[in-house]
Amino acid sequence: MPSRRSVLLASLAAGVAMTTRAHARASQPATPVNFDVPPHACDCHTHIHGDVAKFPFFPGRVYTPEPASPEEMAALHKALHIERVVIVTPSVYGTDNSSTLFGMKARGANARGVAVIDDKTTEAELDAMQQEGFRGIRINLATGGISDPNVGRARFTAAVDRMKARGWHVQLYTTLSMISAIKDLVLASPVPAVFDHFGGLEASLGLEQSGFADLVALVNSGKAYVKISGAYRSSKLAPDYQDMVPYARALIAANADRIVWGTDWPHPDSSHVEGRKATDIAPFYAIDDGRLLNQLPVWAPEADVRKKILVDNPARLYGF
């Protein structure tokens, strides 16, 4: 039978562990930026995970992230010399965009948002979002493992129908096979499509992998943007992800006016882990965003092209 002292020590240890978890910090860059970042540069893919008491998670989520505050994001961007930011509502909030708005308000005029909506979202709510700085909606097929092309086509078509009157873009987190399945819809869309994280390609499969040519063609057409973000989601070759170089260069060569860059901070891990329940805390990926940003001159050696990717394209797409 445990002694009173051992029970007390165990309780104290548990309290310390809970306190440590409650105050876990999102990543900050360890490597200084090694090139001149142009004024008004934009990080086009981030998330805010506010105080769970104020911003509760969606009960149907597939993972539970650690906290990530606006103050931590501001420190990240100060270190990276990034002025503007796009905050995207992650799947863990369902259609509740309040944590994203909380982060946007902290950054003021330098922030834009991408919302998640459903058929219950009213036009009046979308009008209010537009006033607050939202400029697009996100369809997240990847986190939920949705691969049925009929589902993807239906959801993209419905999203375009909602967005065409207000000129917002439709952002998709999906795979190359889904991009191929909706290619005709994207080409016919009156609003831009924006593909997250290199379109979900797998670096190990090579440039000839199925669907990559379709992604390049959509970028070349001008109908789609690609976020060259989250390289670690496509590549296993940390910390510089050298096998991503040919993909980044191919997309930039296709149409440098349709490429934007993002950190994917705070790097949430939504992957399936054996034994981890959806309500268990999923630690962030350990990513050095300074080192990640330093890959941009490798992908785009010309300063004028980097300015398009970091400044001009985000300004056009998000209305800065």
3-class DSSP state of 84: strand
Q: What is the pLDDT of residue 145?
A: 86
* Largest Cα–Cα separation, the chain: 72
CATH 3.20.20.140, applies to 35-318: yes
**What single-letter DSSP state applies at residue 309?**
I
- Its sign, for the CA torsion 316, 128, 84, 191, is negative
Mean pLDDT by 10 residues, the chain (320 residues): 38 34 72 98 98 96 96 98 98 97 98 97 97 97 90 96 95 97 98 97 98 98 97 96 98 98 96 93 95 98 98 98
**What's the one-letter identity of residue 35?**
F
Domain ranges in the chain are 35-318
- Which residues does the annotation mark as catalytic? 264
Given a contact cutoff of 8 angstroms between Cβ atoms, the answer to whether 116 and 89 are in contact is: yes
